Amino acid sequence: MDQVTLISGNGNLDLSRRIAENLGLGLCDVDLGRFSDGEIRVSINENIRGKDVFIIQPTLPPADNLMELLILIDACHRASANRITAVIPYYGYARQDRKDKPRVPISAKLVANLIETAGAHRVLALELHAAQIQGFFDIQVDNLFAGPVFAEYISGKSFRNFTVVSPDVGGIKMGRAFAKRFDANLAIVDKRRTAADSSDVMNVIGEVEDCDIVILDDIISTAGTITKAAKALKEAGAGRIIAMATHPVFSGEALERLEKSVIEEIVVSNSIPFEDGKRCSKVTVLDVAPLLGKAIRRIHTEESISKLFE
């Protein structure tokens, strides 16, 4: 591991420090400052020539996080790093991943182009919003799943008629894999988007009456999807409801909505920093640093990543 250099952007310094700790490494000395007009200024203060560099930066809003990642990649490239891996615990701009109506962008592809053009050789992501985003890159992409971290957490809880619910059809694959681990049933909420940031529940598909539920999603943004799904499930006779989502985007009134909702606990990962415990007392944050650390080690030593999920 002495050839590995870990560099962190400002997107989630706490997670970067945890990853470094898991790997028994320090973070590279980098000046990440600003010019007086607000532009990002980067200077790497250690020799990284020939090193296997991992740049850890989630690309959550503001877009400065993405910009920091791109500029850090460029700096490493010009400093003659041997290989540059963009470690992106949360891949922002992922939700526009196809042209589903006229005159819309595919921002997930645009971001992939930017990362590649900046000079990254590989990407290590966590729970990409859609698996096909891997194909938007011509460089290697490893897409990790938070499923095992969530599974370990709930394996200590006791459930009656345990049922995993996907809050939309897009999440069925993720829900099915999770249900399989526990030999649980799977149900689906049929959601229709009414606008970019709002949706309505049309139907609950599957048996949920007298069942304890885990609703599983990749992102909670406005929390509209998950709170409406939970309400529909309760109306259909569900028992306890726990929500699990990898990326706590928590935008707008999300935390107030979750606090008032019928959901008893909201379990998320630390892919995005969460410091708002006062606004919602139901949030539990699980650490994905060990998972990301193991993946970084395996990429460096050229071992299988899929082994992490067996």
Q: Is 152 in the site for ligand R5P (CB under 6 A)?
A: no
Binding-residue pattern over the window 181 to 210 for ligand R5P, x denoting contact by CB under 6 A = ----------------x-x-----------
Decide whether 68 or 218 has the Cβ nearer to ligand R5P. 218
Of 51, 191, 228, 294, the active-site residue reads 191
Q: Is 170 in the site for ligand R5P (CB under 6 A)?
A: yes
Nearest in space to 11 (alpha carbons), one of 51, 83, 49, 68: 68
Report in angstroms how near the CB of residue 255 gets to ligand R5P at its nearest: 11
The label of the residue with tokens 């379990």 reads 267
Specify the DSSP class assigned to residue 27: B
Give catalytic status of residue 307 as yes or no: no
Q: Is 127 in the site for ligand R5P (CB under 6 A)?
A: no
Q: Residue 284 and residue 268: Cα distance in Å, rounded?
A: 6
Among 167, 175, 239, 293, the residue binding ligand R5P under the rule CB under 6 A is: 167
Among 52, 68, 97, 168, the residue binding ligand R5P under the rule CB under 6 A is: 168
Q: Residue 239 and residue 158: Cα distance in Å, rounded?
A: 12
Checking DSSP bridges between strand 198-205 and strand 213-220, what pairing results, if any?
unpaired
Nearest in space to 271 (alpha carbons), one of 76, 56, 112: 56
Please choose, out of 3-11, 139-147, 163-171, 299-307, the segment that lies near ligand R5P by the rule CB under 6 A.
163-171
For the chain, the C-alpha Rg in angstroms (whole number) is: 20
Q: Is 23 in the site for ligand R5P (CB under 6 A)?
A: no
Report in angstroms how near the CB of residue 197 gets to ligand R5P at its nearest: 6
Among 53, 223, 272, 283, the residue binding ligand R5P under the rule CB under 6 A is: 223
* The token pair that represents 275 in the structure block: 């410091």
Q: Is 218 in the site for ligand R5P (CB under 6 A)?
A: yes
Please choose, out of 57-65, 141-149, 208-216, 219-227, the segment that lies near ligand R5P by the rule CB under 6 A.
219-227
Please choose, out of 16-24, 27-35, 78-86, 218-226, the segment that lies near ligand R5P by the rule CB under 6 A.
218-226
Site size for ligand R5P (CB under 6 A): 16
CB 12 within 8 A of CB 273: yes
CB 239 within 8 A of CB 211: yes
Q: Is 229 in the site for ligand R5P (CB under 6 A)?
A: no
Q: Is 105 in the site for ligand R5P (CB under 6 A)?
A: no
Q: Residue 23 and residue 36: Cα distance in Å, rounded?
A: 36
Amino acid at 169: V
* The token pair that represents 111 in the structure block: 């971001």
The pair phi, psi for residue 264, each rounded to 5°, is: -85, -30
Q: Is 222 in the site for ligand R5P (CB under 6 A)?
A: yes
Chain length of the chain: 310
Nearest in space to 43 (alpha carbons), one of 67, 74, 86: 74
Active-site amino acid positions: 191
Question: Under the rule (CB under 6 A), what is the footprint of ligand R5P?
Answer: 95, 167-168, 170-171, 197, 199, 217-225
